[in-house]
Amino acid sequence: MTKDADFSLVVDVLQDIFGEPHNHNDYRGQISFDCPVCSDMKGLDDGDGKGNLEINYMNYVYKCWSCAETENTKGHLNKLVRKYASPRQYKQFTLYTPEDFVKVVDKRDTIVRLPYEFVEFSKSSEGRQMTHKFREAFNYLKSRNITKEMIIKHRMGYCDSGPYENRIIIPSYDNKGYVNFFVARSFLSWTRMKYKNPQADKDSLIWNEHMVDWTKPVYLVEGVFDGLRARRRLSTLAATLALCGCSHSLASHYWHTVSATPQRPLRHTHTHMNT
């Protein structure tokens, strides 16, 4: 993939079609707009002001954080543009998209972003801290022996509305500080679905890589709460932890990567998934 390809004209066309962007990260090629499907459902011609339509023009995909599942507002970017662009805009769009990008699309068909309704615990207002949901969420973490320090360090939060309502959100950041995954655990005592995690390319994901010191022994666990507990237990040994809340193929990848360098011992702690 050519990192130096110029996407500025593509961005211009997207803005021409979808209006003012809410957020734009040109390093990642990620830009958000008001979702035309959501706006249409609400009868709002000028957008609903939510910015839920996320487009990654480098990976050539899009997704609406609100209506992707119900309206199938997700997938190959071409599908979206063809539907909403005028013939002139569509022509420009195909003309300006660097050719080699269009061919490699299907490998990365997911975008990860924290939910729109995400609120970080440590950045909550005093008013919010008084709410029932805040206390319920906070008490849930306490009951799982998650300390205040861990909550701050891992930038944990929760959602009190939206598709991740009543869930603790534990984000994972990559080396550059961008969110690459999150775990959304219900904090209600009864729930149909304990976890509701985003789709992501889990094979290339390393959980909170900026916290992993690859020169130290690496412990593998499955499930984010195992990881948090283990990290605390191991802190006195100055050991670090690579945590994967995901697949066995990833575990074997770690195993392979780490054991390839014999001076770095690997200890494999196998615990329950998604506790």
> Which residue number, 73 or 208, has a Cβ lying nearer to Zn ion?
73
**Cβ 68 to Zn ion shortest distance, Å:** 7
**Cβ 213 to Zn ion shortest distance, Å:** 41
> Which residue number, 73 or 197, has a Cβ lying nearer to Zn ion?
73
Rounded to an integer, what distance in angstroms lies between the CA atom of residue 234 and that of residue 36?
49
**Cβ 180 to Zn ion shortest distance, Å:** 23
List, in order, residues 6 or more apart from 65 with CB less than 8 Å away.
52, 54, 113, 115, 116, 163
**Cβ 73 to Zn ion shortest distance, Å:** 5
Rounded to an integer, what distance in angstroms lies between the CA atom of residue 90 and that of residue 107?
24
**Cβ 71 to Zn ion shortest distance, Å:** 6
> Which residue number, 163 or 217, has a Cβ lying nearer to Zn ion?
163
Residues 186 and 164: beta-carbon distance below 8 Å: no
> Which residue number, 73 or 92, has a Cβ lying nearer to Zn ion?
73
> Which residue number, 41 or 239, has a Cβ lying nearer to Zn ion?
41
Residues 48 and 54: beta-carbon distance below 8 Å: no
Residues 203 and 105: beta-carbon distance below 8 Å: no
> Which residue number, 59 or 73, has a Cβ lying nearer to Zn ion?
73
**Cβ 38 to Zn ion shortest distance, Å:** 3
**Cβ 159 to Zn ion shortest distance, Å:** 17
**Which positions touch Zn ion (CB under 5 A)?**
35, 37-38, 64, 66-67, 73
> Which residue number, 85 or 246, has a Cβ lying nearer to Zn ion?
85
In this structure, which amino acid lies at residue 194? K
